[in-house]
Amino acid sequence: MDYDLPDELKLLQQTIRRVVSEHMIPLEPITPEDEDIPADLRAKLEQMAKDQGLWLLFIPAEYGGAGLSIFGQVIVWEEVSKTVLIPFRKDSIFGPEGCSILFLCNDQQKERYLYPVIRGERVPCFATSEPNAGSDPSAMTTTAVKDGSSYLLNGKKTWVTSGDKADFVQVVAVTDPAKRQRGGITAFLVDMDTPGLTITGKFELMMEDRPNEFTFENCRVPEANILGEIGQGFVISQTWITMGRLRQGAKALGVAQRCLDMAIEYAKHRVTFGKPIATRQAVQFMIADSEVELHAARLMVYHAAQKLDKGEDARHEVYIAKLYANEMVGRVVDRALQIHGAMGLSKELPLERWYRDVRSRRITEGPSEIMRWVIARKLLGRVSD
């Protein structure tokens, strides 16, 4: 395993790092936590990205993008996560990220959904979780029943990120209750103005995310709006979630690195009892532990990304990286906040915001307990109770 970055990724890393440091971090104090970047400011940042050749980094070359490898995307996610200006669950200023399963669209669907997303004309969201089917998506009860040349969708979906900002939803539903996750779940593209689709709730959470609840009541969706093949929905959703878990791991690296850098800088200059707190063993140990854990997490995330780039099944490695990186970043943020003392609690710094945000990552995209369970199941095999 070789984690020395090739020259082109080193250059990309340095460029993104400079953009974040010079153009984004200085804007943090003037950007309200619960609001998007003002439209005029976002337009300027996006234009800067275009001018520097950083636009559509996450889009394959065949669709006009940079065609970054998954490893390259990890490098970008890591660097851009060093600023709270781009909240954890929002696209960056480098163009749309949430297109991965839309590349499965057929030619007609690409014209209506994929290409408008790439051009920034339409916003997608993804709906799989339900009130009683989160960690176990195979237990979903939302159904899609064939009715002529259409399907009638009925059920509820929860925790839909950016649902109230989306133009269409990528939703998975049960089409064959007997098969369920083994060929009985199908993915659909549903326009938000489709009769029978209603946003019936919005959750106020401890972090910046404000996800929605969707209700489908005899929502008629044309057969032509099936994404991929009939019964392929569970595989599609797992592909989406696998990339989401890797993205979480990569973003945890960026947050942890910025917090560690802040802790080191503060420890060198904060003086108590006549000496910088950097001379105190308790502070030194917190910094050392953070460096060790961050290094380990980075190796795990990079390894998983490289396996995916080789076309290998890297779900096991992604589970490991997601579990460790998201627990690691919580500890690093906590230590950095402790080193900063009362200033760490202040909204003048991003630490308290990250402290709340990273706690969610041990739950979202699969709780830590589920990650441990699937890791153990691979090692032990399926054992009976």
Identify the CA nearest to 122 among candidates 167, 58, 170.
Answer: 167
Note whether 103 and 114 are within 8 A (CB). Answer: yes
Residue 88 is predicted with a pLDDT of 53
Kindly state whether residues 372 and 251 are assigned to the same domain.
Answer: yes
Average pLDDT over residues 223-239: 93
- pLDDT band at residue 33 using 50, 70 and 90 as cut-offs: low
Kindly state whether residues 65 and 29 are assigned to the same domain.
Answer: yes
Q: If you compute the radius of gyration of the chain from its CA atoms, what whole number of angstroms results?
A: 22
Q: Which range has highest mean pLDDT (77-86, 89-98, 127-136, 149-158)? A: 149-158
Higher-confidence residue: 385 or 52?
A: 52
Residue 111 resides in a domain: no
Average pLDDT over residues 209-213: 90
Kindly state whether residues 11 and 99 are assigned to the same domain.
Answer: yes
- The pTM score is 0.92
State the CATH number of the domain containing residue 55: 1.10.540.10
**Structural domain containing residue 138:** 124-227
Using the CB atoms, write b or e for 245-254: b if 16+ within 10 Å.
Answer: bbbbbbbbbb
Residue 95 is predicted with a pLDDT of 85
Q: 235-254 pLDDT, tens per residue?
A: 998 888 999 999 999 999 99
Residue 29 is predicted with a pLDDT of 82
Note whether 189 and 262 are within 8 A (CB). Answer: no
The enclosing H or E element of 282 equals: helix 281-309
Average pLDDT over residues 344-348: 93
Kindly state whether residues 264 and 198 are assigned to the same domain.
Answer: no
Residue 5 is predicted with a pLDDT of 87
CA distance 17 to 5: 15
Residue 115 resides in a domain: no
Residue 98 is predicted with a pLDDT of 67
Amino acid at site 111: E
- pLDDT band at residue 81 using 50, 70 and 90 as cut-offs: very high
Kindly state whether residues 223 and 248 are assigned to the same domain.
Answer: no
Residue that is last in its domain, among 227, 255, 287: 227
**Among 24-33, 106-115, 163-172, whose mean pLDDT is lowest?**
24-33
Q: Is residue 383 pLDDT above 90, yes or no?
A: no
Residue 39 is predicted with a pLDDT of 79
Give phi and psi for 188, each to the nearest 5: -130, 150
Residue 90 is predicted with a pLDDT of 59
Kindly state whether residues 294 and 372 are assigned to the same domain.
Answer: yes
Amino acid at site 200: T
Q: Which range has highest mean pLDDT (39-48, 85-94, 326-335)? A: 326-335
Average pLDDT over residues 22-29: 88
The number of folded domains in the chain is 3
Q: 265-287 pLDDT, tens per residue?
A: 999 999 999 999 999 999 999 99
CA distance 58 to 76: 9
Say what percent of the chain tops pLDDT 70: 95
- pLDDT band at residue 158 using 50, 70 and 90 as cut-offs: very high
Amino acid at site 295: H
At 314 the three-state DSSP class reads coil
Kindly state whether residues 356 and 268 are assigned to the same domain.
Answer: yes
Average pLDDT over residues 345-356: 93
The residues carrying an active-site annotation are 365
**Among 204-208, 248-252, 309-313, whose mean pLDDT is lowest?**
204-208
Q: Is residue 2 pLDDT above 70, yes or no?
A: no
State how far Cα 87 lies from the chain centre. 10
Residue that is last in its domain, among 227, 249, 265: 227
Kindly state whether residues 206 and 338 are assigned to the same domain.
Answer: no
At 383 the three-state DSSP class reads coil
Kindly state whether residues 210 and 267 are assigned to the same domain.
Answer: no
Kindly state whether residues 255 and 346 are assigned to the same domain.
Answer: yes
